Chain A
């Protein structure tokens, strides 16, 4: 199983190591550095690296590399998933998982690593149980130390394994609230002519549940059949879903992802945005660049945080562009043009008011004209709209007597780089 773990920062410094079995020398990381050197992009590092005596499985997230050392055959996804779970756990504990947060909380990190793996085998991975065993750092606790002088939590939960592994017993809130964020991400490729080459929707229901006691929630959709392929949090009763298409569950405490679903639209979805583009290189080191962005079928909602990113060909020296709205920057080293448009209101349907960017491209003299136009990566956010049309009908609570506040929010957004327009 997992033999050792190294946490490596971008500079290539393994600043934390943990061994569950016999110590493996840090020099094992050299194999990883070697692979890292071969790749321009940290994303390109192969996730599994074989060395003469060990196997390295690495993940890259938040500018950190987690490198697990293995000695035996084991399903690689098992390890990858586990490493990501560790990162999730750190994020949950420290708010973020960065070099700083890990270094600042090394004792907790170490205790956590010790608790979740027993000689390389997963032991407890449920955040709620872990939080009972190892308290997350927070201000209140620091103050409590200060006042009571009790810097140690001597009391262990006597019966730590509740019947429901994901929920502690003694939850209580003054204000009982349950929030459901329905987030949908659009994956799309649109070609030069504006036709949709492919489009998919990936949705999540992220919950923030602050309810006392043992509530049993039921969530009804208006149109559950839209959901094509779903993965559930272990708390969801599968059978209930299969028989009635209702999400019935006893929620974990706090933030968690209830379901994630995938809608592979055979019939394409309505794109909420369109881009008119005109990019041309002319013989002799110059070119024209013009983009117009407009909303399309947004149900009256405005597009927010619209950003267009465009990686120019290597032969582009510089761009002089003036946007009619927002700000644009060009990084001449990485050749990345970023146009931060901001909000596009749907009311300004008048095409004269649509945000445009216009200007010249300066090419490196002597270099051949680029053969292909760059690809535009667009990101935006639409609040109060789920692009697939999924709607929650109602949320019911059983098992407790109080009346909770229940809120549902819809967001349509784009994961970085997943909405592309070919020009």
Chain B
């Protein structure tokens, strides 16, 4: 831009600024003035805009467009400007272009012919080098809803799906739904595109792809199989809105692909399912698990991957997870959603309302999960009316014998609330509590009777109605109350309450035989002024009294019937005619009249006090239909669980995708300072490994007896890898590279120990830092670049304690790396199926064994158990005594666990103890259980090993064991003795001196 031009534009901006100021004013002024001379002004205004649009100055055009957008925003019609606006679609100025796009999306549908003029521009923009321009062109093109351009849209989408930029691909995914809405016949073609998008590797695209899937072909569940595991693993990293869509889809998927976890199967066929019930604790206990239901590993994967989403800041995500757990999880696991739902109660009022409604629904089936949080549902006086009602409903649902007294005390204050509707609802709630919990029926009734003496009409009326219902449940006990109520008939004026009282008198007239005729007399007097509902009850009362006490009342009854005969309401007239025929004109229908007493005074079933709002349980939790209580357009029920699980192998992904490179890169970042030759060797091993892995997988599929889910598989392999690395430390003679490595590891070990002793858990911290990094790389491969940048920085921190360590430092993370995967696997779900696969040549099994041997020999010769601790007293254990000790040797199955030996001793003299087995870990601590001990004869001790991951904390680990077919598990606690967390290392003289020299 040269100086002249610039000065020119400056001028025009000034003009534009000025004109904008005035135009805004005039805009506001036009509103009142339009009413005066609509046509003239409108015409003039648009003319002026047209001129601005036709000018060749961008600023004027922009100004005009801004004003037009203003008109659209206000809902005013700007359609006649279409020709003038559409010309500007070719404008080079992005700002103008954007606004023209906005205009086009609004009006293209109405002016299709003219809109076609703009298509060429979009097609050009679709090839623009800037991804944003490509994306926005596609977006507008697909949004203008002109049926004639369907083919162009199709082509554009097809191109965009294979675009380099994930943003463009995301836009393409969105466009699919729009195109489908425009022309449903294209479905088959679109499905192919969706299949392609579903397999997309970028998290940005996944959400939109699933969205398109849900729009176009939700029934094509087969498209999901291959992507299922990846979607589960990536879920945490996808954007919030995508998460909601995917969660909903996965819920549906799980309902159609897995069996009901709450049903117990005795079926032998299930045995090929791997036990994942307790997160890989009971790996060796197939025998135990056969008896109970075993969850499909993919089912478990879903539950595990969705759990962290409960901590999302987005309420829709949390709700979607809650929904998933409600419909898919085993009952014992649903409770984790409670806390998160409660957290949402602090959000905006609207969110609160819907969450509470959902809690009402969930609490109905799973009371226990909300019981600890009862107080969170106490009503604040400024809650909105809906919130109050839902809270009341929840409190009522949660009421049980133990908490009813607190709830009732709380209800007492609500009854006094100045919000009378709410007070009335509370009374109803009290009634419900009274009817369900028999302990408090009496107290509630008394309370309600007291309420009847209040001055407020609505409260009195509601109490009477509720009392009436309660009395019906057990009338014999409450003669006094009945009498009390009867005396109130004069005071109560609310029709429904009067009707209730009259019904009571009629029903229980035998107990108040003296009062009843008198009441009828009064009622006969006021009959004509009563509401219809009351009149009906007067008729009922009259009829019932006539049956029991005709002598005293027959004249009154006649009189009432006559009054009713000429009533304006035909229901009343009909009722009177019916009763008259039944009672007085007995000749007309003798058979019925004979049984008049039986008919009228038949014992009526007590009413069930129903919830006021529980009326739409039939819809899926959390959906729109659920909230409005009617079927919304496009609502579909969740499918029921299949009885026989569909083939789970469809989800196996055959080819493990391009991992070697990723692996190397992740390693690179953790060992940035030096890429050892070992690294290279590893990547060679990678290839080895993958072929092995595939073979293994295939084998498993063929046999269909795979006792390992994919996860446990990996864990094992990781273990192997781990072992391998340890082996390399000990086997100094494999080759040169190893030698180098071994040396460095040897160097580090003593240092490591020293450090441990001196500074507690610093090692763990470091390694975890590393872990975290790896972690990030795997999950968010996008971020790896940044993390790489960070690594050197951290490494310098790591190296600080002793500068000599710098070189060898990274061997620790290398060994520790697999720990991380374990943890991840166990707790969070691995970031993606592909990255799970670790470098672990199968041949290492041999090394593994060797190493095992070695460690055995080395330790056994040196074993000095310092101390044994009691964890089950022989008295409490009914003869079974359990002690534990820390052998200070590495735990074979998992390197991040501490090896603990349990000594089971049968101290009884004549009784054998059978089947001692590990049941489950109680705290969140990961425990590797022991093999079941089938028989422990009296006087014999057996030593078994367990592994405990104390997770760098000194919290005691507690777990349950079962023995002797006791159904109640016995819980054991193993304290974490600080000194025992250290691993013993042995050095020969040479190594020691070597280290000393450094």
Contact = CB atoms under 8 A, between A and B. Distances in A.
A76 B167 contact: no
Nearest to B173: A121
Given A149-B12, A161-B204, A229-B343, A216 B378 contact: no
B789 A198 contact: no
A161 B166 contact: yes
A175 interface: no
Given A44-B386, A156-B133, A260-B313, A119 B177 contact: yes
A138 B979 CA distance: 61
A341 to B, nearest CB: 20
Contact of A61 (B59, B311, B348): B348
A197 interface: yes
A122 B241 contact: yes
Contact of B75 (A14, A48, A416): A14
Given A47-B350, A81-B316, A398 B794 contact: yes
A150 B16 CA distance: 11
Nearest to B244: A78
- Interface SS majority for chain B: helix
B972 interface: no
Interface in A358-386: 368, 371-372, 374-375, 377
Interface residues of A, number: 117
Given A55-B628, A148-B6, A160 B951 contact: no
Contacts of B349: 43, 47, 60
A276 interface: no
Given A26-B75, A420-B380, A399 B628 contact: no
B736 to A, nearest CB: 36
A243 B93 contact: no
Given A118-B174, A260-B313, A420-B381, A151 B783 contact: no
A170 interface: no
A199 to B, nearest CB: 8
Contacts of B355: 77
A109 B170 CA distance: 23
A81 B632 contact: no
Contacts of A55: 624, 628, 632
Interface in B70-97: 70, 72-75, 92-96
A63 B644 CA distance: 55
A214 B790 CA distance: 10
A30 interface: no
Contact of A118 (B13, B139, B380, B454): B139
Contacts of B782: 163-164
B845 interface: no
Nearest to A81: B316
A264 interface: yes
A75 B622 contact: yes
Contacts of B319: 75, 77
B433 to A, nearest CB: 18
B634 A72 contact: yes
B106 A228 contact: no
Interface in A68-89: 70-78, 80-82, 84
Nearest to A147: B10
B455 A164 contact: no
A71 B316 CA distance: 19
A110 B353 contact: no
Contact of B98 (A47, A111, A161, A314): A111
A22 B793 contact: no
B624 A48 contact: yes
Contacts of A43: 349, 384
A214 B66 CA distance: 37
Nearest to A157: B132
Given A77-B354, A231-B311, A214 B786 contact: yes
B418 interface: yes
A398 to B, nearest CB: 5
A229 B342 contact: yes
Contacts of A230: 311
A263 B162 CA distance: 48
Interface in A389-409: 398-399
A173 interface: no
- Interface SS majority for chain A: mixed
A119 B172 CA distance: 12
Nearest to A155: B94
A253 interface: no
B13 A163 contact: no
Given A151-B16, A238-B308, A262-B346, A78 B316 contact: yes
Contacts of A106: 69-70, 73
A371 B351 contact: no
B635 A73 contact: yes
A350 interface: no
Interface size class of B (residues with CB under 8 A): 35 or more
B739 interface: no
Contacts of A351: none
A14 B165 CA distance: 39
Given A84-B348, A371-B416, A242 B106 contact: no
Nearest to A309: B382
Contact of B171 (A118, A398, A399): A118
B786 A164 contact: yes
Given A121-B208, A314-B418, A151 B70 contact: no
Interface in B386-422: 386, 410, 413, 416-418
Contact of A198 (B376, B625, B827): B376
Given A161-B204, A399-B786, A19 B106 contact: yes
A121 B173 CA distance: 11
Given A80-B354, A118-B174, A229-B339, A234 B240 contact: yes
A61 B8 CA distance: 45
Contacts of A26: 75
Contact of A232 (B11, B244, B311, B786): B311
Contacts of B340: 229, 231
B314 interface: yes
Contacts of A371: 416, 454-456
Given A73-B623, A75-B622, A372 B62 contact: no
A233 B828 CA distance: 18
A375 B381 contact: yes
Nearest to B106: A19
B102 to A, nearest CB: 6
B130 A146 contact: no
A250 interface: yes
A197 B628 contact: no
Contacts of A41: 384-385
Given A61-B348, A77-B622, A264-B342, A149 B6 contact: yes
A163 B351 CA distance: 31
B72 A110 contact: yes
A372 B789 contact: no
Contacts of B794: 398
B73 A422 contact: no
A38 B708 CA distance: 61
30 contacts: A15-B74, A16-B73, A39-B385, A46-B353, A47-B349, A50-B632, A72-B634, A77-B622, A78-B244, A107-B99, A146-B13, A149-B9, A153-B95, A154-B95, A156-B94, A156-B133, A163-B785, A187-B346, A198-B375, A229-B339, A230-B311, A237-B772, A243-B772, A244-B768, A313-B418, A371-B416, A372-B417, A372-B418, A374-B418, A399-B793
Given A119-B177, A163-B783, 6 more contacts: A17-B74, A43-B384, A60-B350, A152-B58, A161-B166, A202-B346
Going nearest first, the 7 A-B pairs with the smallest beta carbon separation are A149-B10, A372-B416, A149-B9, A198-B375, A47-B350, A152-B95, A122-B241
Interface of A: 14-23, 26, 39, 41, 43-44, 46-50, 55, 57-61, 70-78, 80-82, 84, 106-107, 109-111, 114, 118-119, 121-123, 125, 133, 145-154, 156-161, 163-165, 187, 189, 191, 197-198, 200, 202, 214, 216, 228-234, 237-240, 242-244, 248, 250, 257, 260, 262, 264, 266, 311, 313-314, 368, 371-372, 374-375, 377, 398-399, 416-418, 420, 422
